Amino acid sequence: MEIDIVNRKIGERIKNLRNRNGLTQQELADRTELTKGYISQLEHGIVSPSVVTLLDLIECLGTTPADFFRETKFEQVVYTEEGFFEKLDEEGNSIQWIVPTAQKNRMEPLLVRLEGHKKLSNDLPHEGEEFGYVIQGKIRLHLGSHIHTVKSGESFYYTADRDHYIENATSRPARFIWVSTPPSF
């Protein structure tokens, strides 16, 4: 039973590489001096190639044995709102983790809704950098003793080596994307 799984995986990889290279089964068969029928059976996991045949196929498909046998893990690229994690703070502000597993990555992107006349908690100096883009409204970014106003359509970027926090001094809610590296939330 175990050999059938291996044959299917080898066949799938050969077929994927053949298609990626724009080759028909006949063209691959001609390049490797095999028959089209053998290539078809191989791609369906019906036959098991010899080591020499497999190495020849791998070479003709423009890859190496190491790359051919490398196990690739699934990498999620797109995240939907259903997977977001939201936290409401004491002030009623919403912080959404828009890449739910980002704390294991180098960046942590958040979608923040800051209510009117509210602020986020003060962040102490830490390693890393932070970036933001204001989608709606206007915020004040407090960096040490300096205050920067950032409006809708503007972005901010700073090293987090001093006390910092964000406030909304207007009566309307503000929304912004906030990315920190390394993750700190």
Of 28, 48, 69, which closes a domain? 69
Token pair listed for 142: 């407090």
Mark whether 85 and 174 lie in a shared domain. Answer: yes
Pairing of strands 108-114, 94-97: antiparallel
- Can you tell me which residue has the tokens 């050969």? 14
Q: How far apart are CA 170 and CA 107, in angstroms?
A: 29
Q: How far apart are CA 71 and CA 164, in angstroms?
A: 43
Q: Name the β-bridge partners of 48.
A: none
Which CATH number characterizes residue 29's domain?
A: 1.10.260.40
pLDDT digits (tens, 9 = 90+) for 83-142: 898 999 988 999 999 998 777 788 999 999 999 999 999 999 999 999 999 999 999 999
CB 113 within 8 A of CB 168: no
- Residue 75 in any domain: the answer is no
Mark whether 102 and 148 lie in a shared domain. Answer: yes
What pLDDT does residue 77 have? 84
Q: How far apart are CA 97 and CA 108, in angstroms?
A: 8
Q: How many domains, in total, are found in the chain?
A: 2
CB 116 within 8 A of CB 170: yes
- Lowest mean pLDDT of 1-5, 143-147, 158-162, name the range: 1-5
What pLDDT does residue 185 have? 54
Q: Let me know how long the chain is.
A: 185
pLDDT at residue 64 is higher than 80: yes
- Residue 76 in any domain: the answer is no
Q: Is the pTM value of this prediction over 0.85?
A: no
Q: How far apart are CA 87 and CA 70, in angstroms?
A: 39
Q: How far apart are CA 51 and CA 69, in angstroms?
A: 13
Q: Which residues 6+ apart lie within 8 Å of 178 measured at CB?
A: 109, 110, 111, 112, 130, 131, 132, 166
pLDDT at residue 150 is higher than 90: yes
Exposed, middle or buried: residue 151 (CB in 10 Å: 0-12, 13-18, 19+)? Answer: exposed
Identify which has the larger pLDDT, 184 or 29: 29
Amino acid, res. 45: G
pLDDT digits (tens, 9 = 90+) for 28-60: 999 999 999 999 999 999 999 999 999 999 999
Of 69, 91, 124, which closes a domain? 69
Residue 157 structural domain: 81-181
Query: Quick one: which H or E segment has residue 43?
Result: helix 36-43
Which CATH number characterizes residue 165's domain?
A: 2.60.120.10
